[in-house]
Structure 1
């Protein structure tokens, strides 16, 4: 401001550090604000579970049982069989995502915002379509597993609460985006009213709904039969979805720092809703990764019910 009023020229090395530091600090502040919201939601859900189970009775264990439990907790077995294809596909998914982020950054540096938004839109469409196909195949493959009928524990209730909070954020974000597209189409705005934007939101909405149903059902499935224990149907898909949701978590974080391709230069109620639920959609991908990791670990476990009960107590 001083330079503009006195008309004194400044060298590049004098102005660039301040401009770049302000830009990066602004990005970091946006990221940290998202992290604060996620931490607050997780803390509130944990406090609710503690409040809900405060009157529950506890099972006392003897010294031998307690020492056995401690020994078991210090040992962790991970069965990585039937996961190589899903892991490779997940790494490929990660590479494509980083390439799309790089393309967006290049167009942004060239001040070509239209091409940058198009790169984000096409990347979103490809990523969500791939994840939607994986969820559909996973539902079909895991039909061979047995449904476990049991009461919900504290961990399951906590997972479902956080998953529903993230799902609400995704639904609000997608519905806001579709309403914004319809509004811009009525105003004959070619940039925001392109058809691919609506397709992205529809595919994204379907992917989120189907993946949520998939995780809620798959969390109750177990491989009890000998054939299911040997073939492990759907484990490749669960591995891929785990990698995909971790990738989308970082992709959403980058996308929330930068303006979304459909919510750019938009103000008012839709702008407020889109930026308010942005931490929730990041939370959805983060907690989906946690739920899928639990499914990957427990769904195909060869431990019997008695062994699992002893390890829990």
Structure 2
């Protein structure tokens, strides 16, 4: 008789992944609500806000739970094969972004921690841009085996993507110029590196979206393996996170002290009001385009059967 025996436990998770992902998303919302509650409840001026957001989150969860109970008898099918790793990694990165945003809004109001708030925000942004750029390169090489339709012309989504990227390029170029000519402030080099990383990441992502939007699976083996879908899923969630950062953090003047010091308050306000809406739209539209790639690229067309 062997002294040690290996035990195998199997859990049937079929038809459970969508509920699991949605439950994890709601759990993340609850964790953020708890963090905000414990941060703000100790401050008299924010005590009512802490209680209010806690009640709103509770009401939202109760409503979602009630809706889930009502539609439980209806079945909707979404093919999520070859996407779970990218989704989990993207959710992990989204949690990092949310924590960074919370720290930013907590520290930016205190003069002694203002530089720390900007520093951690730039570090998190740089990390996300680098990870996203690497994911774009990996996804680009993975989808190359799919059939490329040269006859497919430029569509409206592609034009909107390029127009929106022009706003992001304007923002990053002005950031690079401002950081290049100011060296006496803190985080100047980090702002310069961050702007370059953002520019490179957006270009790689746009090239990938323009290329992948014209590709289709042509064999049953490609439909089964779904090359690049993990990376597409990851990029989709990442762009949603970057959209949140651009919407809540980048547009604030306090998050760009280097640029504001170089251009002045009113000049930088004009620059951000022109470029930031396009930057926000670029992240949102990239998410939509990636969703279309995720949904349609890996469905085999009848002409290849």
Give the TM-score, by structure 2 length. 0.70
Contact kept in structure 1, 2:219 and 2:304, CA below 8 Å: no
Of 182, 195, 210 in structure 2, the residue corresponding to residue 216 of structure 1 is 210
Separation in 2 of the partners of 1:159 and 1:81? 26
Contact kept in structure 2, 1:169 and 1:278, CA below 8 Å: yes
Instruction: Report the Cα offset of residue 306 of structure 1.
Output: 9.2
Question: Is there any run of 5+ residues in structure 1 with no aligned partner, and where?
Answer: 1-15, 21-74, 308-313
Instruction: Report the Cα offset of residue 207 of structure 1.
Output: 0.2
Residue 281 (structure 2) aligns with: 283
Give the TM-score, by structure 1 length. 0.68
For the structure 1 residues 235 and 241, does the alpha-carbon distance in structure 2 shift closer, same or farther, using more than 3 Å as the test? same
1:1-313 to structure 2, matched below 5 A, reads 78-111=78-111, 112-152=113-153, 157-185=155-183, 189-191=184-186, 194-259=188-253, 260-261=255-256, 262-265=258-261, 266-267=264-265, 269-305=267-303
Question: Is there any run of 5+ residues in structure 2 with no aligned partner, and where?
Answer: 1-44, 50-74
Separation in 1 of the partners of 2:295 and 2:269? 40
Instruction: Report the Cα offset of residue 109 of structure 1.
Output: 3.7
Instruction: Report the Cα offset of residue 90 of structure 1.
Output: 0.9
Instruction: Report the Cα offset of residue 249 of structure 1.
Output: 1.0
Please give the secondary structure, in 1, of the residue aligned with 2:186: coil
For the structure 1 residues 179 and 268, does the alpha-carbon distance in structure 2 shift closer, same or farther, using more than 3 Å as the test? farther
Contact kept in structure 2, 1:87 and 1:239, CA below 8 Å: yes
Separation in 1 of the partners of 2:155 and 2:223? 27
- CA-based RMSD: 2.4
Instruction: Report the Cα offset of residue 99 of structure 1.
Output: 1.0
Q: Radius of gyration: which is bigger? A: 1
Please give the secondary structure, in 1, of the residue aligned with 2:129: helix
Q: Using CA pairs under 8 Å that are at least 6 residues apart, name the structure with larger relative contact order, 1 or 2.
A: 1
